Structure 1
Amino acid sequence: METGSGERKRRSWPLYEVFVRGKRGLNHVHVGSLHAPDSEMALRNARDLYTRRNEGVSIWVVRAEDIAASSPDEKDPFFAPAGDKIYRHPTFYAIPEEVPHL
């Protein structure tokens, strides 16, 4: 029988975010989260939990505390600087006719 101290110890393990690339996919997709004592155990547990039907070809685990993300609430001001730089868009450049297949 599990004691209360075992549960507290497990809760103190770091949280890992799990990304899996499927057989037909080119990108890793976030599939969930899990707690583990280290990255090796997180990989093993992620394999057992998220690829039970042999659907994955690659797994990434990342400590949640190491992920930096923008806020969806700040999307307009955060991405606004890119919109006013027309030179970043391919339509800004004139392509010579002698350049094939660009």
Structure 2
Amino acid sequence: MYSGIFPYKPSYLCFSLFLPFFSVLTFFAFFAVLFVIFYRLFSLFFIYSLVLNIILQWIFLEIYFKKSVFHYFVYFIRILLNLLQSLFYKNYFVTYKNLMSEK
């Protein structure tokens, strides 16, 4: 008799990889984080990146936090930090573009 998390023995290797610590949601969330990192590194459209980042953070907070006042407080603070970060990036690249056009 198989003694594990589930009462039956998994027949697929890809399914058995998720049994100990991971779930399907965390598997896709890992690749979503990689996508956001590369998107923010190689893209100048920081507003679109900001919207994508807020959506992904909402997904992560829904997964890892219970709904409480602290949950919404952390969510609000992270949105404000992302807004400040996007404004900084936007001003930096506008200033860089203006400096390059003056030459």
What's the TM-score bracket when you normalise by the shorter of the two chains?
under 0.3
* Larger Rg, first or second structure (1 or 2): 1
Higher helix share: 2
Higher strand share: 1
Greater relative CO (CA pairs within 8 A, separation 6+)? 1
Q: Give me the TM-score of the superposition, normalised by structure 2.
A: 0.27
